[in-house]
Structure 1
């Protein structure tokens, strides 16, 4: 790999946060090739050879790159093609070929830095696994139940009193053509019925919190912001909050870095709840979380940190 190889940025066309990072890469004279998997067959082509010398080339409508020369890949917010013009069965087939062909060829790259490798993002995205790792690393974890057993769910709420229901994973959802999202919401015993049995749910004892912490780690750099608001779920209204830059105790910052190391991630966004004694409680990790609005609110140089990490390049630890 050449020292001046390009940085691949995989994301959707209108990703303002990616634009922020690319601007900093441009200032560092690091060449950038931006692409979106949804453009396959419409200006995006891949060629990869295996068995007689592994080589590959990715072409967009304006750029071309030898995959062996890539110094880093920023896997930001890529969109996979839906093939809406095809029948349902053909669309599913074509989509699978893209994910396993284009995705597989890229996932196989070694000798470059991933921020983050998609397969590691996926492994870190399971909340029950996150909770187990958090317990093992010594974080304060609110009592949590994952179940589709109605009796167990009601018993848990009865034991802990104030309980919050959360989805196990954010998923795009529409009803009557209207996009919906899910929030952390209080739940009572009498609100539950037999539909609980259809799928597992996450129930968690409510932390008596006074604020939230959003912690972004990029490489080894830690950016921590205290979010003060009156909402149980601060994501409902970003505008009504107070944002304060804080310095984490070394022990907590070290534990969060260790958490990322466990999953082999270069970056991640952590959410913690701060109780009335000032103690942080684990909530979750978003391995590819949003952070652009925090830079705008606080002036923290988050985009520059991503650009530094990507421009530096280097192989991921398990690929050396």
Structure 2
């Protein structure tokens, strides 16, 4: 049965953060159609028509249990959809089929101008470049640690030698395995002696270490901010969640205002920010994840993050 002004939730099958938001929407009796592009075929069907009058896009998205009228979608929560890779096909056939899903299913959803997107995937992609994030943060008045992006070994050695402590950070997280074992790139100390000609292969990000006493994860949802101080003593707190303690942080008005304005500059309505707090109590920009995790922070602090997302999605766009 077609749902009345549904919220589309695009995500993979195992997503506890999306589950929290869907639970909140269900409490409000807001219809939800959850879909994953990986289910394309028997589990997911899209039919979109263009050139009709008076509506530019009409059609439906159907899952095994729900149907959404594309013209009536109030909001799209674009969480962590899993795109099919068609690995059972020959390489060229798989590449072709995967492109048709992205540009067919994705393109049909992107064509909608009524829903509120949280966040639009094209905006997410544009916001996900760390060098651009750093420059925008400085333009907006936030403190940014001296940082170098380069594939020149001499530039890298000079930069590392000019600062007391420097970290290497991946420019972009990607799935990675060595000998079948999944690996994650952490922020790691680097010395000038460790830099060799292999740096030439690809740009690397080198950043001076902030003499921090804590980290902050700040979630922005619409016009609301939720800031959590994370204490661990770790260089990269993501390495060991069991070592973390949490406290709700009250941001200075100036910092809060900048973090609210930052997503708007990028066409986003939500984002997860990582900051560091130094011994003087100053806040340092580290990065933005346009689609970052936050569910465990609600569980640890009781902050009503999922309710804030549900509020935003319920309000939706001009459907």
TM-score class, shorter-chain normalisation, is: over 0.9
Partner of 2:45: 45
Q: Secondary structure at the match of 1:79?
A: coil
Provide TM-score, normalisation by structure 1: 0.96
2:114 corresponds to 1:117: no
Q: Secondary structure at the match of 1:77?
A: coil
Provide TM-score, normalisation by structure 2: 0.97
Runs of 5+ consecutive residues of structure 1 not aligned to the other structure: none
CA distance in 2, matches of 1:215, 1:147: 29
Cα deviation 1:98-122 (Å, max 9, x = unaligned): 1011001111111110000000000
Partner of 1:18: 18
Aligned pairs (5 A) from 1:204-215: 204-215=207-218
Aligned pairs (5 A) from 1:70-85: 70-85=73-88
Find runs of 4+ consecutive structure 1 residues off by over 4 angstroms. none
Cα deviation 1:50-93 (Å, max 9, x = unaligned): 12242121010111111010000000110000101101111111
Partner of 2:32: 32
Partner of 1:163: 166
Cα deviation 1:262-292 (Å, max 9, x = unaligned): 0111100000010000000000000000001
Q: Secondary structure at the match of 2:162?
A: helix
CA distance in 1, matches of 2:257, 2:79: 25
Shift of 1:161: 2.3
CA distance in 2, matches of 1:115, 1:184: 28
Q: Aligned residue pairs: how many?
A: 314
Cα deviation 1:152-176 (Å, max 9, x = unaligned): 0000001112000000000000111
Shift of 1:4: 4.8
CA distance in 2, matches of 1:225, 1:161: 28
Aligned pairs (5 A) from 1:275-294: 275-294=278-297
Aligned pairs (5 A) from 1:89-100: 89-100=92-103
2:152 corresponds to 1:138: no
Cα deviation 1:168-220 (Å, max 9, x = unaligned): 00000011111111000000011111100000000001101010011001111
Runs of 5+ consecutive residues of structure 2 not aligned to the other structure: none
2:217 corresponds to 1:245: no
CA distance in 1, matches of 2:213, 2:293: 22
Higher mean alpha-carbon deviation, 54-63 vs 163-172, is at 54-63
Aligned pairs (5 A) from 1:153-192: 153-192=156-195
